Amino acid sequence: MIQDAVKVSSNGIALNSLNCDPDPSERLLKPLSAFIGMTGEMRELATVVSKDIYLHNPNVKWDDIIGLDAAKRLVKEAVVYPIRYPQLFTGILSPWKGLLLYGPPGTGKTLLAKAVATECNTTFFNISASTIVSKWRGDSEKLVRVLFELARYHAPSTIFLDELDSVMSQRGTISGGEHEGSRRMKTELLVQMDGLARSDDLVFVLAASNLPWELDSAMLRRLEKRILVDLPSKEARRVMIQHWLPPLSNSGGVELRTDLDYGLLGQETDGYSGSDIKLVCKEAAMRPVRKIFDALENHQPGNSNLPTIRLDTITTADFLDVIAHTKPSAKNLSQKYTAWQREFESV
């Protein structure tokens, strides 16, 4: 209880915690031969699902994610701390079993999931529709059941359901009727989620969706925390641009210099997602490179002396010109996510 959760040291009170330091080596999984209670068919399906387990540490740290401070805090509270400090998360404080990350494309939802895999070195199942949807009758629901059994077997585990709307859209809304196999698969997924809520297994479901309004209401109820991963703020955009285009960088022995007003560019990129900003920075970096292609192409193959390469400095005007020709991919969707957040938010 409380006495077990804390210990007195010379420096005061410290929590007992599990060692959750990221392990850079390849993850070693328990052999499937010890997977008790499974038929031969189920073991074959377990082999299929096991292919989507991250064996290598993604090596994405929290500091690698620029901005999204509120989302990072909630993800840590829901996923990381219950594993680090299990003594605190009992009874009414039992850890959350499901969390939904939703928001515009390219805002860092998958990056947050990889940070979870890195932070506590859990068995990380990276699941998409192709993993659990089968053309064979009855296999989809079996794959879902095996997935959750495997997660318990390899616990502590995180099941990351990417693009959740592709497998868990609202039931009964498809014109002409929903396919029976799809209904059974969705029902099995809901049943397994209920099973997690009633158990003490260290298995957590982390889901991501760009279209949360298409998700089935029964699934939303089981995803207890629903966090909007929104477009980056002005300050986050400024930091991103400075990260991708620092004043001086060296790539392949070629120096790339910039003379940028980062504050102004952070302001001018309103409505751009993190991936949009990376794309703009890449295009801005390519512009001085394009100017030297002619010199490189005219170089004689037999001449070992390559021409000296000096790239032009990237200026604020260059960057603004790139912005004028590279439009944001999800700016018009922001209001729709905010409206959905007002109705279904759970943080």
Residue 75 in domain: yes
Whole-Å CA distances, 48 to 28, 43, 104, 130: 17, 9, 31, 11
Number of CB atoms found within 10 A of residue 6's CB: 15
Residues whose CB is less than 8 angstroms from the CB of residue 179 and which lie 6 or more positions away in sequence, other chains included:
none
What three-state secondary structure class fits 209?
Answer: strand
CATH code at position 46 = 3.40.50.300
Assess if residue 215 is contained within a domain. yes
292 has pLDDT over 90:
no
Give yes or no: residues 166 and 248 share one domain: no
Could you say which of 162, 197, 231 is where a domain stops? 231
State the total domains in the chain.
Answer: 2
pLDDT at 301: 65
- 158 and 243 belong to one structural domain: no
Return the closest-CA partner of residue 134 out of 45, 51, 35: 45
In a domain, 141, yes or no: yes
**Contacts of residue 143, Cβ cutoff 8 Å, sequence gap at least 6:** 45, 48, 49, 131, 132, 134
Before 307, cis peptide (omega within 30)? Answer: no
Domain span at 119: 17-231
Nearest 5°: the CA angle 174, 167, 342 is: 80
* Residues 108 and 164 occupy one common structural domain: yes
CA–CA distance, 112 with 100 (Å, rounded to integer): 11
Q: Which residues contact 240 (CB under 8 A, 6 or more apart)?
A: 66, 67, 232, 274, 277, 278, 281
Q: What is the mean pLDDT of residues 212-235?
A: 91
The pLDDT of residue 172? 65
pLDDT at 303 over 90: no
Q: 81: how many CB neighbours lie within 10 A of its CB?
A: 17
Indicate the pTM of the whole model.
0.82
Residue 312 maps to a domain: yes
Q: Are 62 and 184 within one domain? A: yes
Q: Using the predicted structure, report yes or no on whether residue 80 has a pLDDT greater than 60.
A: yes
Both 195 and 260 in a single domain?
Answer: no
Q: Is residue 340 part of a domain?
A: no
Mean pLDDT calculated for residue range 123-138: 80
∠242-248-252 over CA atoms, to 5°? 115
